[in-house]
């Protein structure tokens, strides 16, 4: 079984190799568009479920942005806790 360091290096090699085939900002944007669309749909669904009703487009946009910010703040908090534990 590979050590965590070996797994990290293998993942880095794979990632660098994959992205070496993508050129320019447009290529990177195109390569990640499906992921961004999927994340947006998931956040829209979550916003509608939490509201308990259909939201107007501007309300939905605002709710999605707040959910996105909350997600990144949770990740930052988890990172800060992990750093404090070491």
pLDDT digits (tens, 9 = 90+) for 13-58: 999 999 999 999 999 999 999 999 999 999 999 999 999 999 999 9
In the structure, what pLDDT confidence band is assigned to residue 86 with cuts at 50, 70 and 90?
confident
For 50, residues 6+ apart whose C-beta sits below 8 A from its C-beta are 63
Answer whether residue 78 shows pLDDT above 90.
Answer: yes
Residue-level pLDDT at 1: 86
Cα–Cα distance for residue pair 74/56, rounded to 1 Å: 27
**Residue 46 neighbours by CB distance under 10 Å:** 14
Q: How far is CA 15 from the centre of its chain?
A: 16
CB contact burial 28-41 (16+ within 10 A = b; e otherwise) = eeeeeeeeeeeeee
Q: For residues 41 and 49, is the Cβ–Cβ distance under 8 A?
A: no
Model confidence, pTM:
0.77
């Amino acid at each position: 079984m590979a050590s965590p360091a070996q797994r990290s290096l293998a993942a880095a090699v794979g990632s660098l190799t994959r992205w070496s085939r993508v050129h320019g900002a447009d290529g990177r944007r195109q390569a990640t568009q499906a992921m961004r669309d999927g994340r947006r749909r998931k956040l829209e669904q979550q916003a509608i479920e939490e509201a308990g009703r259909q939201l107007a487009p501007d309300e939905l946009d605002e709710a999605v942005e707040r959910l996105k910010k909350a997600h990144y703040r949770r990740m930052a908090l988890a990172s800060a806790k992990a750093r404090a534990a070491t």
